[in-house]
Structure 1
Amino acid sequence: MMIKKMGIATAAFVMCASLPIQTHAMSTETPQNYAMKAEQKIAEYNGGTLQSVLGATNTTTSLQAQPEEVIKLVNGGFEEPDISGISAKYAMFDASEVPGWETTASDNLIEIQRNYEGVVAPEGNQYAEINANMISALYQDVVTKPGTKIRWKVSHRGRVGVDVAEVKFGAPNNLQVIATMSTGKEWKTYQGTYTIPEGQDITRFQFEAVSTADGNKGTGNLLDNIVFSSPSNLIVSNSYSQSTVKKGKQVNYLIDVANAGGMAAGDVNLSIPLPKELDYIPDTVTINGIATSDVLYDVASHSLTVNVASIPDDSTAKISIGLKGITETASAQTSVATSYYDLGFTDHQYDANTANASVAVIANSVPTITATDKTLKKGDSFNALTGVTATDTEDGDLTSAIKVTANDVDTTKVGTYHVTYSVTDSDMDTTTKTITVTVTSNDAPTISATDKTMKKGVSFNPLVGVSASDTEDGDVTSKITVTSNDVDTTKVGTYHVTYSVTDSDGNTTTKTITVTVTSNDAPTIIATDKTMKKGASFNPLTGVSASDVEDGDMTSKITITANDVNTAKVGTYHVTYSVTDS
């Protein structure tokens, strides 16, 4: 006899500073150990003594209390022993060879079939026939705790027509008919719930043949997919794949949903309100490593719902969700609210929630490129990487990783050009920067100075009126130097002054002007004394002229500054002339 118990646990909740903390540990027993206890229990029952079998008490992360007794029968799908290698597609076994099951048949034989006569199992590959050689019953005795609610389910089928069998539960010596199955040549599922009565520490779960369609006591009443279990019980825990995530990078939110109950859970819905610091990355949800599309993301509420069709007992669904850090925070907190049913039942919904799991969202500094605009002279050599560096907060110096992605500089022509740089850090964040390169002309400066003429004795400053300019440097007048100057204004003559100026590129220009020093003699008036008769007419300018060494004829500029001549009277008079040169 094989009877299986999955362990005993109760739920405990601890409140600390208003924060619920849930932990969980499950005690388990091997089927062999449990079978020994069960057989002892049954022996005690048969001897008239009833004792309770209690297990360890632990705490759990689930907000649903676990049943104290996790109960389920063994080999409910008749998959053991395996008859896949038997060509007849059926085999008879002594009950001791069929894990979990006993028979009331006097020959103690149980018949297992596999696709016999084309009948396909509704679950797994194999099924049993109650009427192996005679009208009998198949059963299991299970250690139970009074008050425990049991889910039961069975698939039944007639072999050649409508076969009838009864489902009976109760103490081994006090079975009650729970359901009558009357089924034709299509599999039909019968199910329900059963609460262990007070004082019933051993419960027999039995299927008893009543009749067959053809009256043959050795054929009929096929059974499969049998469940006699305490409800499913999901324990949900959550964590992050790493304690920190950089802004813009992915972190996986990990959820383990373990079924510590006696049967499979179905229609498992996980509701996950996401913190504002994290964003959902579409198409990243996996269940046990396989991508799933049974996901709903609600933008308005920033929440995610993941559906898991079923989670068998004694198994864990491992769910991974890709989230992206969007806002820096020391603690982005996430929790899961889970609802589910016992697989195949919809009369009661269970809930299991988690405490918060947290992850820190930290800065993800992109690399920085240091490069400045450049001005070059026409004809200069140019290396686009000279003087350009790159650094990253996490990676440090990235100068060696800089790439030039565009460069149209031509130093043979004056113009404006551009160079674009790119660098990528270890997080695959890329920064680009573009600088302007200006190629200017390389012309020599220009000196503006003209020849001069001056009078003898005039003072002379060779820099007065002289200027210099450069295409690149602008006004360079202040940089003019006089490299030669032989001017002597005390002497009439021709002299020279030489100027020089150098721009910032080292281009030097010189220029020489001529300075002419001329005499500075006063003009000459030619006028002679005159004698005339009383009463004669007199024009004081007649016969008077003036000339100048520099200005030439100046007669027209002669002015009379005094004239007392009176030709009406005999006498001596005077006329004074004046002329001024340039």
Structure 2
Amino acid sequence: MMGRITYIFCALLLLLFNYNYGYNLNEKRLPPPVNDDCSGATTLTVNPTEICAAGSTASFTQATVSTQGTTCTALNSADIWYQFTATSTSHTIALSNFSGSPQPMVIVVYEGDCTALSQLYCSQNNVVNASGLTIGAVYKVRIYFNTVTASTINTFLVCVTTPPPPSNNNQTECLITTNNYDFELPDLVWSNFPTFVNHNVVQGWRTTASDEMIEFWQQPNYENVPAYSGTQFIELNANVVSGVYQDYQTPQATVFNYGFAHRGRQGTDTCQLLAGPPGGPYVNVGAPVSTGNTAWSYNTGTYTVPVGQTVTRFILQSVSSVGGASVGNFLDAISFTADNGIITSNPYYMGCGDIIADLEAAGVGTWSAHTDNPSTVTISDPSANNVQISGFGPSGSYFFDWTTQYCTSTIEISFTGPYPQDPVIPNITYCQNQTAVPIDIPVDQPGYTMIYYLNSNQLPDAPTPDTSVIGTTTYYVLQESDQGCQSPAYPLVVTVNPAVSPVTDFTLPAAVCTSDVSASPTPETGFTTGGIYTAPAGVTIDPDTGVIDLLNSTPGTYDITYTVAEDFENCLIEGSSMATITINDAPLLMPATPLGLCDDASNDGIAEFNLAPAIAEMENGQPNLTATVHLSLTDAQNNINPQSQPLFTNTVPNSQTIYVRFVEDGTTTDCYTIEEVQLMVNPLPTISSPITDYVLCDQTDYMTPDGIEEFDLTSKDLEVTGGNPDYAVSYYETANDAETATNPIVNLTTYANLSNPQMIYVRLENTVTTCYDVFDFDLVVTPLPIYDSAQTDFHECEEVPGQADFDLHSHDSACLLREYHR
């Protein structure tokens, strides 16, 4: 009954202060925390120092067991999630300020997102010292009860801090360190008497005592025993004979240095340091330590971790105490450290051509380069103990740090530099007596030097070749870096050639017409290319090819010049030649519009053309031109076989090209222009067979027929055109109208004949060529036959009972009052 009253009282308090937390009196339960699974992880503030100034209070109320991520224990009764963004390569995640019933907690640190978590660290002593982190990366933290059933009302503070590196970057101080080495945590409320603390709320330390209690003392205290370090220490014998221990990750064989302060309480007490893998077997490390109760003793030594012992547990175990099982063996300032510094000799020297540095370090850490190095480099694997560094830039001193959990060691690499690149050596050519310049082979890097040799002797400066003598001279050139590293020497050949005169002679046609379009020079044998053609104003010429554009040049006589400039590279002296050309004017014509005629009834593709309009069109108003007509371009060019004109009958059926040659009257230059004229004889449209008559029955009044009916003339379109899409059909009442395309029948679908029969004229026109022909057919109206209903019965004698043969056609004439005729 008391439990129900308490529960309802708490619920009323929550409602009173508007904290319903999703509470439902019918369900009688609170919702799980927001960080119950990975996707709702609470973000932790990363403290920039080892002081926890900002943390997050954990609550497990209604927490459940998540399915994401692996754990390092078999039990998990409830878990919650956090995340933080790394600001350093090392951070400490710790639990403190516990409230409620002490229970074993586990901290797991993962990298990756919630769908692909990878476990990095797993701790059962309330502290994770995470190293090798990536700055800017987000890491997930899972905290759970290592129990079958948890009391989820417990709370504690979760904090992420940043451990500082040791002072002076001393390589020998790069050590694995001990958590809570002088027992300053938890930060207890002062008491004159010892405080018994369950080890599940202590950072770092665990006890072998069955009651899980560690006895903490503070100074001052009622026995006036001062702490050896700080303000708190512990008594090894709390309630039972026991030991305290701490575990260390030892993935590599390493040497631990240990030290601890020991003191008897009521007399001389004895303890023993043990080491080995969790669960044993354990070995004694050093001799048992016995100390009186008047002063602290500080005891040191070393322990070598065997190969393959990936986790090492150090235990300080009570051996004997004057006060009995629960009294004696004070301990303080317990430390276990291992060297995790750089092993490679420091400084590290790299000679000429050495471009990769091989470094080695102990422990688990991260390599990084100093930001003020001469250049950036490439570190093969920043988290590996054995690493290769490459990609060095300028020569000089480069500094690199190996950063472990709490320390950074530094090594200096003296980089001399690679061998210089092989120099790019172009051979050099001069003409005899040409002015030479000093040889200048560019270096690859600022500060590098080119060194020249002649006849095995090093020259003080870049040499200037002698061009007075024809022949070759061989120098040798090598490149030297600013650190004295040299490339191989390569030959540089300087050749001095004799000077020659260019061949510039060429010819041009003596006279040309503008109608020739262009005129090209003919070069002399051995002609020297690379020169420039020039001409006076009025001539349009290509300076590289010498081709004259006659259409855009002004008629006249001109001197054309070809000049080759002095070219020392090819040992040419300057030279030029000249040729004369006369440009005569030729008639300038307009293109002729193609001529087209419709064929006659023979459809043989032959017709007589009047060329006069086409000739006038080409002359474009120019006077004094004589035109001749030719069947081929060759005849026109040679002015042979002129044809009759202006009336001309094509000699090639259907389509023919003729050529008209124009010459200006009264000139002696014989400049002519030729234009083409396209002649086309278009065939008349045809029908495949005569158009059939259009016959209708006289149905309007079949008893008194008038011979008049309505005809749908469009029904004859397909018969006339044969489906040709280029044909157009129109219908007329007279042949003259059809020929002149006047007065077409417009009511084509309801045309009533004027007489019976009546001839209709059809104009069939090719819409592409406009050629047409006229055809005809008759409209015929035929009267319907009339049946005489006044007929007598038809009798025959039976041949068999009830059956006889009747000739029905014998009564045809008697049945019809009017016979039907087509």
Same fold per superposition (TM over 0.5): no
**Greater RCO (CA < 8 Å, at least 6 residues apart):** 1
The structure in which a higher percent of residues are strand is 1
TM norm structure 2:
0.23
